[in-house]
Amino acid sequence: MELPVIDLAPYLEKELDSEIKSLCWEVSRTLRETGALLVKDPRCTAQDNDRFIDMMENYFQQPEEFKRLQERPHLHYQVGVTPEGVEVPRSLVDEEMKEKLKAMPKEYHLISP
């Protein structure tokens, strides 16, 4: 799937004009149709992006023992690493949501473990 790139430069201008409204509609349409988009921020260089990706790749290549040192259960895992099995999809525990999901057509039913 080819995702459109959304350039933030016009959003950062002082005055909002019809171009901004058009960009907002494009963001809205893209998220509705694809659920994802790419954001281009003129304040970040390609080198910044590459450095960030390298940093993330290096972190996730670390051994599990190292990453477990980053667990912060006392902060409800809002920072650091969250171990497997800690997060539970709301659709598995929220009774109201379960009922709504059951009412959906079969082709839209969730497949969960």
- pLDDT, tens digit, for every residue of 77-100? 989 899 988 888 888 889 998 899
113 part of a folded domain: no
pTM: predicted TM-score of the whole model, two decimal places: 0.52
pLDDT for position 113: 64
80 part of a folded domain: yes
For residue 39, what are the β-bridge partners?
6
- Exposure b/e, 4-13, CB count within 10 A at least 16 = b: eebeeeeeee
Domain extent, residue 50, equals: 5-84
Q: What is the total count of domains within the chain?
A: 1
92 part of a folded domain: no
Cα distance between residue 109 and residue 103, in whole Å: 9
101 part of a folded domain: no
pLDDT for position 14: 65
97 part of a folded domain: no
112 part of a folded domain: no
